[in-house]
Structure 1
Amino acid sequence: MMLPDKIQEFLVQNHVVSLAIKDDEGLWAASCFYALDTEQARLIVLTSQTTRHGQQMLIQPKLAGTVAQQPQHLREIRGLQFTAHAELLDGIPRQDALGIYTRRHPLAMLKRTDVWAIRLDGVKYTDNHYVFAQKMCWERPSAE
């Protein structure tokens, strides 16, 4: 399954995702570096399961997030919002995902931490560069 080219291109050009979770204390957001797993339409992130967002992703893996740039002008706005499911990886899936991540962020090889797959379920991409308020939506097929 492939993401549309424009969404995939945007995710490859960027590297920070903001994750939003809800726990017993309320809403919480965290920013993480990511690497795109193009084959499985997921973001690979490294974060400890002892963090507030890591603890909650273990309990309730459904989350929302954004990837956005910091433009100076409205016409330059590009970004996406998504819903997803987080999965703490172990064994061979962990090693495969860590390989994707360290190819993008080589310094990550120096620190041992937990590896997560943020499986994108639905994405709304906005790109004002060519047409103001242009939106593109993508949803993971329900059979997956």
Structure 2
Amino acid sequence: MEPVPAAITALLADHHVLSLAVQDAQGPWACNAFFAYDPQTVALVFLGSLDTRHARAIQAHPRVAGCVAGQPRDISQILGLQFSGVATQVEDSTEKARVLALYHERFPETRGIASPVWKVMVDAMKLTDNRVKFGTKTHWRRAPASA
């Protein structure tokens, strides 16, 4: 697996909310969630109740897409990340403890909150950074693109 470019990891370190798009029988749906980045597995970790529409959608259709971005008014300052991957609830106790430690390090106020833990194993990311030059893109893929 190729290393994740520094520009992408910097954005993931500087931002703390992701928007996640899912699909269910009623159609597309989106939500926001606080997240922690897991560099070991190139995944985004978030907490969420099982009774939400997005949790039910993930359980039925785990392919998701999303973005991480701020909202600058100046178009030359746009910096954002689009991603796709597979979301699952983390059930293995060792893995759950490991990713919860990442999450709690980033959001210490969540220690002691009992909530299902979710992980998006990211397949692809595209960073747009207009601060470098308008339309500057940085791409990452878990697996090389097939010819």
Instruction: Tell me the TM-score range normalised by the shorter chain.
Output: over 0.9
Q: 1:58-96 CA deviation, whole Å, 9 max, x = no partner?
A: 111100000011112000000011111101112111111
* Correspondence for 2:105 among 103, 106, 114: 103
In structure 1, how many angstroms separate the alpha carbons of the residues matched to 2:48 and 2:75? 32
In structure 1, list runs of 5 or more residues that go unmatched. none
Asked if the contact 1:49–1:58 (Cα under 8 Å) also holds between the matched residues in 2, the reply is: no
Check whether the contact 1:47–1:114 (CA below 8 A) recurs between aligned residues.
yes
Q: How far does the alpha carbon of each residue in 1:24-43 deviate from its partner, in whole angstroms, 9 at most, with x for none?
A: 11110000000011121111
- What is the Cα-based RMSD across aligned positions, in Å? 1.0
Structure-1 separation of matches of 2:138 and 2:95: 30
1:1-144 matches, within 5 Å, as 1=1, 2-90=3-91, 91-141=93-143
| Whole-angstrom CA distance in 1 between matches of 2:132 and 2:113 | 41
CA offsets per residue over residues 86-121 of structure 1, 9 Å max, x none?
A: 011121111111111000000111311000111110
Q: Structure 2, unaligned stretches of length 5 or more?
A: none
Q: For the residues of structure 2 that align with 1:23 and 1:10, how far apart are their CA atoms?
A: 29
Does structure 2 conserve the Cα–Cα contact (< 8 Å) formed by 1:67 and 1:81?
Answer: yes
TM-score by length of 2: 0.93
2:24 and 2:56 mapped to 1: Cα distance?
Answer: 9
- Whole-angstrom distance in 2 between the partners of 1:59 and 1:26: 12
TM-score w.r.t. length of structure 1: 0.95
SS of alignment partner, residue 12 of structure 1: helix
Matched to 1:25, the amino acid is Q
Give 2:95's aligned amino acid. P
